[in-house]
A and B are shown apart, each in its own frame.
Chain A
């Protein structure tokens, strides 16, 4: 077990140092993108919108924007890192070692969560220039951010396991993740939508994650917070198991 633990820590350290080594790619772009969101949607358009669910529009969208950056960055970190390791072949460094699949998954997962947390922190600091953030339930906020980053790190890992070419790692973020995030209630409450679209929106798992974050920060949610938290935990466990099984079977990495 000590061997496995040291191996896992080595992988976490490798993944973390990668995030920090290429900080211009990993930490700066989300900061710039989110600053633009705050300026355009918050300051310029937000003033005309006024309040949403009783909160100034900027304060209402801030938790969702933080969560949006956590989701895209944790996903992008693992999908990019694992797929590059596959393409360059150095994934074999892990595969020939005694490190078990469970700890390989944990290693990549930790890398994704750390990037999600780092970017989430950067975006939160940027948000403070535009609005006040008084976190209502700090522990829940921490839990939601970690678990959501974990869910999307695992999803990124599974995407990278199956990916055979660069197109395969670009398709999911562009055609699945981005629409689901934008339609997941970052910028609006789903109660504004007609009944039919509200029902459709409730099928979007990202809606539950955005609302969990909003609840933990400002105390309001479009969905039951218990259901939302259970859904995050459910996705985390299922995706973790799928990732371990895929690696164990050698799908996409062993001939």
Chain B
């Protein structure tokens, strides 16, 4: 499907899913992902993110609605649509007893890529994911972070135009996460459309240019990251002071509290800015050494929109 900006990588119309248990995971969800987007699909646990990814990758049967992947209707051109997709699932789903190299070569084969080419790609992506040294070991001997990287490599062997990442950095160390971020940014810059679900909202804020927030099976926000963040009414900052304080200083016009003797927490509305707060603190003789956001900005908005709900994954 074409639009004014080019082809939709993914177009979802009125997608619904009701499980046999009676749970309605998706309620007539519609959204489009533009070719080249780095798209965040966010929502609290049980909101329907994984169900949506499951339906797009045909691991979950939909109840109604339609999906097009690069113009291929999944009801009519399933194989063509699947050929465009690579997926990194939330749960580790590797053959733990097979060699890592074979896992990638076999996956390439399932996408119709000849073995000789599959071997080249396996080498390329294992090297990119810093797993080449582990090619002859089986997947069960890998650490949690390595297994995630192997799943990313596996998702890339068919060189997908649309990459779906369901919590790809869950449980990995900071170094690996940063490495994955750089890699994914580079991949997106080279033209791969990426859809990311994550619980690390900082990750979405850092990487994605578009965001949709799903809650209780419905899309409650769908816009560019820039526009979504503009909707943030207040932000909470933590100020580190030079000297310990006995009580929170009175900062005129701001809500302030003491988190610890050397940490002040202040809530700042969008119109206020922080200059007046610093002036007021200076007048009180409080010297501020540094300042940081309490939560990421997206996290603030997310909690506001979803009312901070928690639930089970579905």
Chain A interface (Cβ within 8 Å of chain B)? 2-4, 6-7, 9-11, 13-14, 17, 85, 88-90, 92-100, 250, 254-255
Given contacts A85-B95, A254-B61, contact A93 B112 (CB under 8 A): no
Bound Cα distance A254, B17 (Å)? 13
Bound Cα distance A95, B102 (Å)? 18
Partner of B19, one of A7, A9, A94, A255: A255
Instruction: Report chain B residues within 8 Å CB of A11.
Output: 106, 109-110
Q: Is the CB of B94 within 8 A of A3?
A: no
Partner of B93, one of A17, A90, A97, A99: A90
Partner of A6, one of B78, B91, B112, B154: B112
Q: Is the CB of A9 within 8 A of B109?
A: yes
Instruction: Report chain A residues within 8 Å CB of B109.
Output: 6-7, 9-11, 13
Instruction: Report chain B residues within 8 Å CB of A98.
Output: 78-80, 82-83, 110-112
Q: Is the CB of B61 within 8 A of A255?
A: yes
Distance of B299 from chain A, by nearest CB (Å): 30
Majority secondary structure of chain A interface residues (helix, strand, loop or mixed): helix
Using A89-B91, A90-B93 as known contacts, list a sample of 12 further A-B pairs with CB atoms less than 8 Å apart, ordered by residue number in A: A7-B109, A7-B112, A10-B105, A92-B93, A93-B107, A95-B57, A96-B87, A97-B111, A98-B79, A98-B112, A100-B79, A254-B61
B58 interface residue, CB < 8 Å from A?
A: yes
Instruction: Report chain A residues within 8 Å CB of B111.
Output: 3, 7, 97-98
Distance of A11 from chain B, by nearest CB (Å): 7
B89 interface residue, CB < 8 Å from A?
A: yes
A-B contact count (CB 8 A): 90
Number of interface residues of B (CB under 8 A): 38
Chain B interface (Cβ within 8 Å of chain A)? 19, 54, 57-61, 78-80, 82-83, 85, 87, 89, 91-96, 98, 102-103, 105-115, 118, 154, 158
Bound Cα distance A99, B102 (Å)? 18
Bound Cα distance A7, B158 (Å)? 12
Bound Cα distance A99, B80 (Å)? 10
Q: Is the CB of A88 within 8 A of B82?
A: no
Instruction: Report chain A residues within 8 Å CB of B114.
Output: 6
A-B complex: 10 closest residue pairs judged by Cβ atoms? A10-B109, A3-B112, A89-B93, A97-B110, A98-B79, A90-B95, A98-B82, A6-B112, A96-B57, A7-B110
Instruction: Report chain A residues within 8 Å CB of B61.
Output: 250, 254-255
Distance of B212 from chain A, by nearest CB (Å): 22
Partner of A99, one of B92, B98, B110: B110
Distance of A101 from chain B, by nearest CB (Å): 11
Instruction: Report chain A residues within 8 Å CB of B82.
Output: 96-98
Listed residue (B59, B91, B94, B114) with the most chain A CB atoms within 10 angstroms of its CB: B59
- A selection of 17 A-B contacts at a CB cut-off of 8 Å is A9-B109, A11-B109, A11-B110, A13-B109, A88-B93, A88-B96, A89-B91, A90-B95, A93-B103, A96-B82, A96-B87, A97-B110, A98-B82, A250-B61, A254-B58, A255-B19, A255-B60
Look across to chain B and name the residue whose beta carbon is closest to the beta carbon of A10. Answer: B109
Bound Cα distance A88, B113 (Å)? 24
Q: Is the CB of A14 within 8 A of B106?
A: yes
